[in-house]
Structure 1
Amino acid sequence: MAVLAVGTTLLVGRARTPCVGHPWGVTATASSRGPALSETPLPPLDGTAKPWPGTHEVLGGVRLHVRRTPGPGGVRVVYVHGLGGSSTNWTDLAALLAPFAGGVALDLPGFGFSEPREGFDFSLAAHAAVVADALGDLADGPVHLVGNSMGGAIALLVAARRPELVRTLTLISPAMPDLRPHPGRLSDPRMALAYLPLVGGRIRRQLAAMGARERARQVIALCYADPGAFPEHRLEELTEEHGARASLAWAGPAMGRTTFGILRAWLARGPASLWNVAPLVRAPSLVVWGEQDRVISVRRAVRTARSLPDARLLVLPRTGHVAQMEQPVTVAQAVLGMWEGVDAGTW
């Protein structure tokens, strides 16, 4: 693998050049081939557009809340959000890709407005099984699968275990194992104490009593490289969503149990390790990372792309953990470039 700088965007693609010298273990070379940014015109981005309408549907035998994006050829792209996120995380990217692919953004069980079924264990494997079963109902053939953070790890599991379901794979800051014990990775540092004996109950009550707007601001402060760039109307939408979820009895436990599910996946060894799952993926893959990601370090980016048999890496400067929200146009150009390259046999 090698790296190619295009403007201020770092593109990393497969090449025979040795990977040494770069802070992330790659070397600059003009012969590198990174992911092509599509030159196909995208629709103008309407940053004021409301989230796509949401409905509840039974997919794969599970009732999920989803947001559909109209587009050609039926459902061809499926979006999977991260921990604490929801289908609204894909509003802008889905709009930009709508002329090229109809889409579905899922609320995973316990998140957004998808109530988890009784007995759901909130492991990454369980979430991946729900997504895989849903894909079977969403399309007659393989889809373009896009995941962010936890959703990226889930999409990775789906692509590895159910290759017939996935045409291409896009991972945006996927939650690959990153066990750095740093409170700055939490939207609220008190969360690190929330499940400790004696003090945990009090901390959880304090967090539960926090206002919806403050919770929304904390999430954006953690996930955005420049929180001030988050539009005020989007903050209002996120505040409204957080307020609505506060009344759902299952929302808090789902967050806590899924967090532990991620930690268990990160501690797994042998075939269950995400690093050992990645080489099983056969779909052409695009890995996108924000250079200023505080949640999952960009230092995981090159290893992630190397682990996938047919992957290229796009690293975006001045970008944090949710590149599809911070840099939707560039991400859309990269995703569309991959689709075009795969269709043309040039990826």
Structure 2
Amino acid sequence: MSSTESTEAAVADPAPTVPAAGATADGETLRTVSLPGLSLTVRSRAPRADGRAPALFVHGLGGSSQNWSALMELLADEVGGEAVDLPGFGFSPPPDDGDYSINGHARAVVALLESERRGPVHLVGNSMGGTIATRIAALRPDLVRTLTLVSPALPELPPQRSAWPTALASVPGLPRLYARATRDWSTQRRTHALISLCYGDPSLISAEEFAEDAREYERRLALPYFWDAMVRSTRGLVNAYTLGGQHSLWRQAERVLAPTLLVYGGRDKLVSFRMAARAAKAFRDSRLLAIPDGGHVSMMEHPQLVARALRDLLAEDHRVDDAPLDRS
């Protein structure tokens, strides 16, 4: 089946893509968690039962758990970090019900957290993953100890022009036209276009990293459900933008009780830097890390800066835990 044919049709029986559980070449561990109606691949760097505070990392649209590898390595001494492949992304197969809405992705993450029973976690999300994390923090505060959002995809109307092509992927018929128009593109050209969109400074990518990214992109393009997961998730995100009342994402941001770290890049082509001020006001207990040269994936482009800010957030959380009780 070609990518064009699979763009808007769900695949009933996708080929298995989850690698064998165990250690990877870079010292990470992949495991599969089977849950009702879905199967999730989870990436980690260290044993889970060592007493460190648990953290869960949620990637954005078109991403995977691998987006968090650099940041998890820098924080390995501080938290028991794990990153999830959302349904239909990375090595996780599509959900049985084909639900790629923000609520559907959020339910998948909540199901994972509840099945693991690790207590409230330090929840970290990027882009669409930030949208998912915001909804979880608002509706299930018992599951979230702190919240970190890297370029969260919260409603921005109108969006900046560089984000229009991504939003247009939700329009019926357009993904099919795009797939047809780009069918002759090489994997290298596709990878370069994606990196240019997501990074503030694409030159930071080494030749070795680019080659690895291209290989992974080629693997995922070959999946029969790749375009379906992308298109349906994009529609789910756009639909979430239109919700009002108590379901509004900005209203839910105001309901978040967890201490929140916001990370925004000055060169972000998908989430405007101007949204940082609005987010800082919406989240009641927020602190802001602004990275002037950063793009949409600052945890990959500037992992040291993000790790330092996250450590500061964790230190604040520890001080709250250690504070004496006021018995007056």
Q: Bin the TM-score by the shorter chain.
A: 0.7 to 0.9
Q: 2:271 aligned to 296, 312, 329, which one?
A: 296
For 1:119 and 1:207, the matched residues in 2 are separated by 30
For 1:80 and 1:184, the matched residues in 2 are separated by 23
Superposition pairs of residues 229-248 of structure 1, within 5 angstroms: 229-248=204-223
Deviation at 1:94, TM superposition (A): 0.3
1:131 aligns with 2:106: no
Please give the per-residue CA displacement for 1:49-100, whole angstroms capped at 9, x wherever unaligned. 8473433222576311121121642670100000011011011100000011
Deviation at 1:279, TM superposition (A): 1.3
State the one-letter code of the partner of 1:345: V
Match of 1:101 in 2: 79
Please give the per-residue CA displacement for 1:18-55, whole angstroms capped at 9, x wherever unaligned. xxxxxxxxxxxxxxxxxxxxxxxxxxxxxxx8473433
Superposition pairs of residues 141-152 of structure 1, within 5 angstroms: 141-152=119-130
Structure 1 residues 257 and 341 mapped into 2: Cα distance closer, same or farther (>3 Å)?
same
Q: Give the stretch that moved more between structures: 224-233 or 146-155.
A: 224-233
State the one-letter code of the partner of 1:307: A
CA contact (8 A) 1:93 1:325 kept: yes
Please give the per-residue CA displacement for 1:307-338, whole angstroms capped at 9, x wherever unaligned. 11211111111111111011101110110111
1:312 aligns with 2:287: yes
Q: 1:331 aligned to 296, 306, 309, which one?
A: 306
State the one-letter code of the partner of 1:54: L
Deviation at 1:192, TM superposition (A): 3.8
Deviation at 1:231, TM superposition (A): 2.0
Match of 2:138 in 1: 160
Q: 1:220 aligned to 195, 203, 207, which one?
A: 195
Superposition pairs of residues 106-121 of structure 1, within 5 angstroms: 106-121=84-99
User: SS of the counterpart of 1:77?
Assistant: strand
Match of 1:76 in 2: 54
Structure 1 residues 51 and 250 mapped into 2: Cα distance closer, same or farther (>3 Å)?
farther
Structure 1 residues 201 and 90 mapped into 2: Cα distance closer, same or farther (>3 Å)?
closer
**TM-score normalised per structure 1:** 0.79
CA contact (8 A) 1:83 1:151 kept: yes
Match of 1:56 in 2: 32
For 2:26 and 2:210, the matched residues in 1 are separated by 12
CA contact (8 A) 2:59 2:127 kept: yes
Superposition pairs of residues 155-234 of structure 1, within 5 angstroms: 155-180=133-158, 184-185=162-163, 189=165, 192=168, 195=171, 201-234=176-209
Deviation at 1:269, TM superposition (A): 1.4
Structure 1 residues 258 and 209 mapped into 2: Cα distance closer, same or farther (>3 Å)?
farther
For 2:94 and 2:53, the matched residues in 1 are separated by 24
Match of 2:254 in 1: 279
For 2:305 and 2:159, the matched residues in 1 are separated by 32
Deviation at 1:237, TM superposition (A): 1.7
For 1:59 and 1:332, the matched residues in 2 are separated by 31
For 1:191 and 1:51, the matched residues in 2 are separated by 36
For 2:222 and 2:111, the matched residues in 1 are separated by 28
User: SS of the counterpart of 1:321?
Assistant: coil
State the one-letter code of the partner of 2:55: V
Unaligned regions of 5+ residues in structure 2, if any? 1-24, 324-328
State the one-letter code of the partner of 2:30: G
**TM-score normalised per structure 2:** 0.84
For 1:99 and 1:200, the matched residues in 2 are separated by 43
Identical pairs, percent: 41
Match of 2:8 in 1: none
Q: Give the stretch that moved more between structures: 76-85 or 63-72.
A: 63-72
Q: Give the stretch that moved more between structures: 133-142 or 323-332.
A: 133-142
Q: 1:66 aligned to 37, 42, 51, which one?
A: 42
Structure 1 residues 50 and 86 mapped into 2: Cα distance closer, same or farther (>3 Å)?
same
For 2:313 and 2:188, the matched residues in 1 are separated by 37
State the one-letter code of the partner of 1:305: A
**CA-atom RMSD in angstroms:** 2.3
For 1:260 and 1:85, the matched residues in 2 are separated by 16
Structure 1 residues 194 and 342 mapped into 2: Cα distance closer, same or farther (>3 Å)?
closer
Unaligned regions of 5+ residues in structure 1, if any? 1-48
Please give the per-residue CA displacement for 1:218-246, whole angstroms capped at 9, x wherever unaligned. 11101111111112222122111111112
Structure 1 residues 139 and 103 mapped into 2: Cα distance closer, same or farther (>3 Å)?
farther
